[in-house]
Structure 1
């Protein structure tokens, strides 16, 4: 068997594995959406002992903290890849700081998402709620995509900034359609 023949045999396996890895973020997004559409919402569900307006205020504050962490992540990512104007090369501690803050952001998102999906599910009662619901489903699919892209050495150079940008965009949409909307006094609920 020649090296060329062995290479041809490995390509279909790589292609299949790459296809399955690409499907994982989509599967996560679809699974969150399906759960949110099929379960019975419990509008009385609380969060950390808060109920009613208290839970909405708490989620708005936690969501704002998540948005702040996402902005820090974006700035650290730009610094690591020398795209932050005037910052120069990032010191070594920036990369582990970026990872720790990313983990903290992910962990912070979990109780917010759990309360949203169990209390409200995926709703389309208004355009704001629809955008919020879809962005919430996409968030975890994009997170999975970013983790996979970070671990891959074979993807093009634009894949990581695209995944990171999509993640920050999803968080910004969630913050804009819930926390900012709440703090602006647009409505007493969700």
Structure 2
């Protein structure tokens, strides 16, 4: 909610750079970084499925899979931060089209889902279904962000259905 409020009341600064890239170059860089983030999210999903015995072709996950899952999660979070900061500083939260509105909402959901997942992982008193729900929302938010921005940018500013 705080990201939404901040983004709605922020004056866009279209010249903001991302690692020295501005304008179309920054959009392309964010699209590539976003694609890497989506790749890490897929790895996270597969590791989680393995940890919870939901991949029938694999035996029980060794303990190191949990560590790898945690490290990949931190890497994904750290990769998402410069992308999100650039989006909020450069554009704010916009509702000018379905694609942009969807992207803005998913960006806000992403960080709420990260916080929820961390809290659910740390809690011993919450229902067992809450962890996969939080992880699913997190994965879904990253997927929507990738579809509405990275795919759109790398596909000549067009995404199927948008």
- Normalised-by-shorter TM-score class: over 0.9
Counterpart selection for 1:83 from 49, 54, 60: 54
Aligned to 1:161: 132
CA RMSD of aligned residues (A): 0.7
Structure 1 residues 166-177: aligned runs within 5 Å? 166-177=137-148
Q: CA deviation at 1:85?
A: 2.3
| TM-score, structure 1 as length reference | 0.82
Q: Which of 136, 147, 154 matches 2:107? A: 136
Structure 1, unaligned stretches of length 5 or more? 1-29
CA distance in 1, matches of 2:59, 2:137: 25
133, 139, 148: which one pairs with 2:119?
A: 148
User: Runs ≥4 in structure 1, deviation > 4 angstroms?
Assistant: none
Say whether 1:38 aligns with 2:5. Answer: no
Offset from partner CA, 1:77-115 (integer Å, 9 cap, x none): 000000112112001110000000000000000000000
Unaligned runs of 5+ in 2: none
Determine helix, strand or coil for the equivalent of 1:185: coil
| TM-score, normalised with respect to structure 2 | 0.96
Instruction: State whether structure 2 residue 34 is matched by structure 1 residue 63.
Output: yes
Say which one has the larger Rg: 1
